[in-house]
Structure 1
Amino acid sequence: MAEHAAPTLSTLVQRFFMDHLIEQRAVSPQTIAAYRDTLRLLLNYAATALKRTPSAITLSDLDAPMLLAFLDHLEKERGNSVRSRNARLAAIRTFLKFASHHDLASLATIERALAIPFKRFDRPMVGFLSRAEIGAIIEAPDRASWAGQRDRAFFSMMYNTGARVSEMIGIRCRDVVLEGQPAVHLRGKGRKERSVPLWRPTAALIKSWRRRIGDPTGESILFPNRSGGRMSRSNVTQRLDLAVAAAGLKNPGILERPVKRPVRGWV
């Protein structure tokens, strides 16, 4: 009997996304995008290094020396942090583990690639803001403007729930319960879901904000941008910068605080 030919790299990539990530693991769109960007960067780097087209790259080309050179390229030429480098490596490892089940001829290459370690790095001590400082930032946006009312409700809910920015910008009106015991339903990383109670002041801001936007349908984004779509992370960062600057006029100490530290609850 004739032996089955090993699948091409392009076939493996397609199966990885369509069958493994989407159908079997049902990962979030954000995770799929991160893996897609990583493999695109890797294949473009390998194509340049080997002077081939990306479609001509094979799985055996993605050996340990190639991956180490790629990771070095990310840090030294693209300016990625060690944290970002490790995230790219994690995505590559996930793909290679999948590929090892479908291309037995490349097992030795894959095993050596999987042996590449993650880099250690110093984790900075996480700072915090006092309740008064948080309150000053929440109260800073203009109460009269559309954007100001949205920002006050947004920052209040983010502080109340400890939600990530990615969770906040995806909240729809149907996810918020304002009758009885107010609460919000959040969808986090890995499609994990949880409901978090809302404090009365937060619920009052949300009620006021929903009246401002015309009490939209349940599928509508609760905190939209001007065009009605989702806010981006950069948009949230910009709005937080404005609120911090405004709060700093009365509380100069806030301007010296690490408000934009990428921790849970803030950008």
Structure 2
Amino acid sequence: MPELYSSPTFAQLLQQFFVERLMQQRNASPRTVAAYRDTMRLLLQFAEQRLHRSPERLALNDLDAPLVLAFLDHLEVNRHNSIRSRNLRLAAVRSFLHYAASRVPESLRTIQQVLAIPMKRYERPLVRFLSRDEICALLDAPNPNTWCGQRDRVMLATLYNTGARVSELIGIRVGDVELDRSPSVRLHGKGR
């Protein structure tokens, strides 16, 4: 009797995760896709060195808990990543494996062991805010008599008045600024 269903290869699964899951189903931002791509690239390079097998010869079951834990340690020790960066890499691997679990149920035991790896705890610094006097001093710091000073004052005032991230500020285009009627600016958060 012919086999009705064959599981995708690891390479096919990885491609489907990026195209179908991240881009089509979740409509992830380009920055999210790039971060997940970078994580998978680092993981594949690590697996190649550790298993002495090229990425195209890897199977899903090769990404077991000991390999992923060693990868996370490698990120912290050898690449000097912070705990926060390590946790973001783990989140990307988990996202891929959640997707893989439904596509390759025969690998579920290995996947569950990796999904059980906890995020590492870290001290979160308290968010401090500036006083009114500190804000005024900051806004008054750039020299208003120079072009660069005027630019810097506008950028600081925009950040203060909108609560925008720096990445959102530098992403503002001329068409995003409305100065005629009611002055406003359109921000494009998280790559959108």
**Alignment TM-score > 0.5, same fold:** yes
Q: How far apart, in 1, do the equivalents of 2:118 and 2:186 lie?
A: 37
Taking structure 2 as the reference length, what is the TM-score of the superposition?
0.91
Question: Aligned runs of 1:212-251 on 2, under 5 Å?
Answer: none
1:46 aligns with 2:51: no
Q: What is the rounded CA distance, in whole Å, between the counterparts of 1:47 and 1:138 in structure 2?
A: 51
Instruction: State the alpha-carbon separation in 2 of the partners of residues 18 and 60 from structure 1.
Output: 22
Q: Take 1:10 and 1:146, find their aligned partners in 2: how far apart are those partners? A: 52
Letter in 1 for 2:117: I
C-alpha spacing 1:97/1:190, structure 2 compared with 1 (3 Å): farther
Is 1:160 the counterpart of 2:150? The answer is no
Q: Which residue of structure 1 lines up, in the alignment, with residue 20 of structure 2?
A: 19
TM superposition shift of 1:3: 3.9
Aligned-partner Cα distance in 2 for 1:142–1:154: 13
Match of 2:105 in 1: 104
4+ runs of 1 displaced by more than 6 Å? none
For normalisation by structure 1, the TM-score amounts to: 0.67
Alignment of 1:1-267 (within 5 A): 1-189=2-190, 191=192
Tell me the distance in 2 between the aligned counterparts of 1:116 and 1:190.
Answer: 29
- Structure 1: unaligned runs, 5 residues or longer: 192-267
Percent identity reads: 55
What is the RMSD computed on CA atoms of the aligned residues?
1.7
Answer whether contact 1:27 1:190 (CA < 8 A) is retained.
no
Count how many residue pairs are aligned between Structure 1 and Structure 2.
191
The structure carrying a bigger helix percent of its residues is 2
Aligned partners of 1:167 and 1:188 also within 8 Å: yes
CA distance in 2, matches of 1:103, 1:147: 57
